[in-house]
Every structure is written in structure tokens, then in C-alpha cells.
A = this chain, B = another copy of it.
Amino acid sequence: MLAERITLVPQGRVPLAEQIYRQIRDLARHGRLPSGMALPSSRALAGQLGVSRNTVSAAYDLLRAEDLVITRPGAVAVLNIPATFALTDRRVQTVGRPVSLAPAGHALSAPLPATVEGARLRPGRPDPRLFPRDAWARALRRAGRTLSGDALLYGDSHGLAALRRVLARTLAETRGLHVDPEHLLILPTVRAGLGLLARCLCADGDSVWLEEPGYPGAMQAFGTLRRVALPVDGNGADVSAMPQGAPRLIYVTPSHQYPTGTRMSLSRRLALVARARECGALVVEDDYDSEFLWSGRPVPALGALAEAGEVATLGTVAKSLLPGLRLAWLAAPPHLAPALIRAQTSLGLMANVHAQAALADFMDGGQYRRHLERISRIYRNRGEALRGALLAHCGNHVAIPPLIGGLHMAVRFAPGVDDVAVSTALGQAGFGVPPLSQFYQGRGSPGLVVAFAQADEATTREFATRLAQLLA
């Protein structure tokens, strides 16, 4: 009897009619009810299940809407189950080909070098305890209450106008970058910007020059592009070391090279822009943490040197506020901006409107600047303390250039030291500091990339002691 095979949950979230419909459907699907079977009348089934007749009628209506039941005038309702509806596990496993990844899918999903165990001193993370939580929560609430109309709908897909305006002013003041707010794209992440530029400017087989050592996330965001290593030394990336080749993109971190922490010299920056102009390449400047450059003033963004649209500059609040806000921006070359904005829309690379409004608030009222000043001091102290401790404990086993800013430092070892082994051993002690050699596409120098954003005194002491033991 059908009613015996149906179990109802009277107070469940799912309406009773829907429960009856689904269970009959699932029985049919699993081959437990034959096609052509006459269904009991709604009155009969209702009586057996202890529900109202309307409930069963509604369930039958759902089955009818699904074409699973046929009713002819004056006749009983009959199950009508297409052969292809029924499932057997065997059939599912044997028929057809599974959907598979294309080459770009493999490239984009290639696992990064094994991440080191341990959360302490892991690069790329600000200290969430320094986030101005209550002020941000209030700004969000205000945004939630006041934003209205078109801003909440599709608005400008390249970002809230108020944010683009204040951001343009801030970039001019702090980065020497003069950009029309109409040429600023607000994006969820820097990587979304990298992906957008790669997709719009490159075809398969094109090449991109990437700093070596460099940012693994960028290597991955560029997917199937041919990656060519651009050497980095104490003056930053050096295009003069590349006698030939016409890349489409040149990805650099000039104000604070990732991960070595060097600053690109003016002559290198000029050479880079000139070379890009010669070969029609776009320089992609990742200005990921220039908010925290404390040695002298930060040099202007590379984009400030480019007058003919050779540079696109990317920035983010992932380090200055929080990664979870998913707020970044791209200052696009004027001649590419309209196309990039349309492509941004096509690819749906948009950021949450309330977070945008909150950031505009923060920047407009000076709160953002004061926050940066405060955390810069704190990070600087933590960085100097960690560097001092490492130099004191590890002596000449390590080389660490003076810090100019940021949230991390590259600690270099003597050639021949197995940095993977050192990193693994530190991982077991809870320190997630990757080996420097992992930041090279080819063979790299040994060392560690160590973040100090969350380095309190105890952590600093323990780390320095452990590293000294490992290197001794």
C-alpha cells in the first residue's frame, strides 16, 4: 500500500504536500513504483496518512506539473515514469563520459607548493586584532541604512562612485598616481584584477614576465600564459637582464618586492616603463602593501611614471584592513579602461556595495589614514624586533636586509642550506614560514619568508631560538 511507504514529519520545515510529492517521486525514481500504476484517490490516501484531502491533492498537482502523473477526465490518476527517470547505481557509473577540465582549468587549479603546517608567522596575513572592528561595523550599518536606489541594484559595475572618487584622491596624495575615478575599477581581489588583465590582453601562448623570486598567487592567476622569470636583485626587478622577448604582461611589485622586500630603483623603473612601451606590453604593478612603507617616504607608484598607458596599478585593503572584505582596485590605463570595465561586468568581478560604502566613509573621514599610521607603527616595531632577534640569535647563518616596510621579511641562508627541511621542522613547531626557494620557478636561493604582522614578543623569541638551533 502506497501510504505505508510514506513517512511524514508533521512539524517539519517542508510542507506536508511537498513531503508526499517528493517521496512518491523518489520511490518512482528508484524503481520502487511501476509506471502505469494507478494512484489511490486523494480522499483515500488522505485518510490513510491522516492529512487533509487538499494536502494530497496538492501533492498530486505537483506530480502532475512534473509530468509524473497523468489524469484523464473521470479516470484515476496514473503514474507515468519515463524510462530515463529511473536510476540505478550501475547505470550512472557506466554510461557516458565525465566532464573534464580543459588545460586552463588544470593550470588554474594546480596546487601551489605544499603549504607549511602551522599558523604562526605565516605570510600574507595582517593581524586581525588590529582591525577597527567596531568602527567598521558601525560604518557597515550606516551603509546598510542609507544606501538606496540604483547603488543597491547594478549601479556602476566598476564600483560605487563615492569610493572611486575618494580613492582617486587618496592615490594622488599617497602614491603620486593621478587617475580619473572613471578609470578606477573596484574589484573583489587583486587576483581578480590579474585574471581580468590576463584574460583581456593575452591569448594562449603569450608570455608574461614574473619577478623571480616572486608572488606564487600571481603565477597561478596567469593560468596558461607562458611564464618567464624576470630576475630580481637588491634594486628590484631588472628588465635589462632580458635581452629579448616581447611579453604581453610584466608583473612587478616595485615599491616593496614580494618576497625579498627590496624597492625598485628609479633607473630600473624608468627602464621598465620604456621597455614595456617598446614592446607594447602592459606593466602590471601590484602595489599590495605600500601603505606600510616606513623607510623614508614610499616612492610614487610606478603608474605615476607611465604617461602613455603602459602601467596598470593594483591595490587592496587585504593587508591594511582585512582580506575577508574582498575589496581591491585597479587603476587602468585610460585607453583600456572602458573595455576593461565592460569585461569586468561580463566576468562578474564586482565587490559588495556596503563594504565599498564603508571604505569610502573610512577614507573620506580620515579614519583610514589614522588607522594606517597606527598599525604602521605597530608593524614596524614587530618587524624590527623580529629582525633584531634573528640577527642576534642566528648570527651569520642568516642575512636580512634592513626592512623598508610591509608585513614580512625574507631571511636568507648560506648557499647549500636545505630550506625545505628547515621550513618543515619549523612547521612542526607551528610556524608556517615557507622556504624562499619555493618562490622561484626554477632553482632558488635558500631562506625563509617570515611574516611579522602577528609576531608578539614570545613568538619572536621562540622563533629566533628554534631557527638558531636548526641552523647551528
The stretch of A34-42, A79-87, A381-389, A419-427 in contact with B is A79-87
Q: Which of B307, B328, B339 contacts A109 (CB 8 A)?
A: B339
Bound Cα distance from A327 to B351, whole angstroms: 9
Contact across chains for A266 and B66 when beta carbons are under 8 A apart: yes
Known: A104-B203, A141-B138, A270-B84. A324 touches B152 (CB 8 A): yes
Contact with B along A343-372 (1 / 0, CB 8 A): 101111111111100000000000000000
A189 and B141: CB pair below 8 A? Answer: no
* A462 located at the interface, meaning its Cβ lies under 8 Å from any Cβ of chain B in the complex: no
The answer, yes or no, to whether A7 is at the interface (CB within 8 Å) is no
**A273-281, A393-401, A405-413: which lies at the interface:** A273-281
Is A308 part of the binding interface, using a Cβ–Cβ cutoff of 8 Å? yes
Residues of B within 8 Å of A18, CB to CB, are: 297
* Residue A448, interface by CB 8 Å: no
Query: Does the CB pair B346–A108 fall under 8 Å?
Result: yes
Does A206 reach chain B (CB closer than 8 Å)?
Answer: yes
Query: Does A434 touch B at the CB level, under 8 Å?
Result: no
The stretch of A48-56, A192-200, A437-445 in contact with B is A192-200
Of A127-135, A226-234, A237-245, A464-472, which binds chain B?
A127-135
Check if A144 sits within 8 Å of B152, measured CB to CB.
no
Contact A125:B154 (CB < 8 A) given known A67-B265, A352-B355: yes
Indicate if A118 sits at the interface (CB-CB under 8 A).
no
* A142 to B141 alpha-carbon distance, docked (Å): 9
Residues on B with C-beta less than 8 A from A113 are none
Tell me the minimal C-beta distance from A358 to chain B in angstroms.
9
Q: Which of B125, B296, B308 is in CB contact (< 8 Å) with A153?
A: B125
A204 and B204 contacting across the interface, CB-CB below 8 Å: yes
**In the complex the two chains form, what is the Cα distance from A13 to B271 in whole Å?**
32
The CA of A326 and the CA of B354, in the complex, are separated in Å by 10
In chain B, what residue has the closest Cβ to A93? B308
B200 touches A102 (CB 8 A): yes
Q: Is the CB of A109 within 8 A of B21?
A: no
Contacts of A144 in B (CB 8 A): 133-134, 136-138, 140-141
Q: Which of B192, B279, B341, B352 contacts A347 (CB 8 A)?
A: B192
Q: Whole-angstrom distance between the alpha carbons of A455 and B248 in the complex?
A: 49
One digit per residue, 1 when the CB lies within 8 angstroms of any chain B CB and 0 when it does not, for chain A 281-297 equals 11000000000000111
A29 closest partner in B (C-beta): B305
**Is B353 a contact partner of A99 (Cβ separation < 8 A)?**
no
Min CB distance A470 to B, Å, is 27
**A108–B343 touching, CB < 8 Å:** yes
Rounded to whole Å, the gap between the CB of A317 and the closest CB of chain B is 11
The answer on a CB contact under 8 Å between B265 and A350 is no
Q: A99-B310, A206-B102 are in contact. Are A109 and B346 (CB under 8 A)?
A: yes
A189 touches B125 (CB 8 A): no
With a cutoff of 8 Å between Cβ atoms, the chain B residues found around residue A345 in the complex are 191
Which residues of the partner chain B approach A271 to less than 8 Å between Cβ atoms? 84
Chain B residue with the shortest CB-CB distance to A279: B97
B-chain residues with CB within 8 Å of residue A297 when the two chains form the complex: 17-18, 21, 62, 65
297-334 of chain A: CB within 8 A of chain B = 297, 299, 307-310, 322-328, 333
Q: How far is the CB of A415 from chain B (nearest CB, A)?
A: 30
Known contacts A109-B340, A109-B342, A328-B348, then 13 further A-B pairs from the complex at CB < 8 Å, ordered by chain A residue: A84-B274, A96-B280, A97-B280, A98-B335, A101-B201, A102-B203, A133-B144, A134-B144, A137-B143, A140-B140, A191-B346, A191-B347, A195-B346
